[in-house]
Amino acid sequence: MADDGKLTEEPEIIYIPDEEGNEEEFEVIMKFELDDSDKKYMMLVPVDAPDGEEEEVYAFRYEEDGDDLKLYTIEDEEEWNMVEETFNTLLAELEEGKTDA
């Protein structure tokens, strides 16, 4: 294993129950807050996505209460558009940073 001088972080994993109550495993790929609100958002991808398929990214608004994490679906179209735009901007900045290295 090559050591490129960077620390590799352990992925943050959360479990979300599906409709049948089975817990599905998701990796948190990004967390952020929108500038004009105190709402926090996280972007997740399923850990066990089938190989060869494009990963679907899920967005949730979240609140932390001590050790409890509460996820809320984003149902407002205007809020969804802001979250999607912020995610795409941050993702582009991350990709740009990788090519500069």
Average pLDDT of the residues in 38-59: 84
% of the chain residues with pLDDT over 90: 52
% pLDDT > 70, the chain: 82
Please indicate, yes or no, if residue 15 is contained in any of the structural domains: no
Domain around 64: 23-100
Q: How many C-beta atoms lie closer than 10 Å to residue 1's C-beta?
A: 3
Cα–Cα distance measured from residue 46 to residue 83, given in angstroms and rounded to the nearest whole number:
19
Q: How far is CA 11 from the centre of its chain?
A: 11
Q: Which residues contact 72 (CB under 8 A, 6 or more apart)?
A: 60, 61, 62, 63
Q: Is 76 within the bounds of a domain?
A: yes
63 assigned to some structural domain: yes
Q: Is residue 46 situated within a structural domain? A: yes
| pLDDT exceeds cutoff 60 at 93 | yes
- Count how many domains the chain has: 1
The predicted model gives 87-98 an average pLDDT of: 86
Would 9 be classed as within a structural domain? no
Question: Has residue 13 been placed in a domain?
Answer: no
Digit-coded pLDDT (tens) for 61-86: 999 888 889 999 999 999 999 999 99
57 domain residue, yes or no = yes
E-only strand ranges, 1-101: 12-17, 23-33, 40-46, 58-65, 68-72
79 versus 100: the higher-pLDDT residue is 79
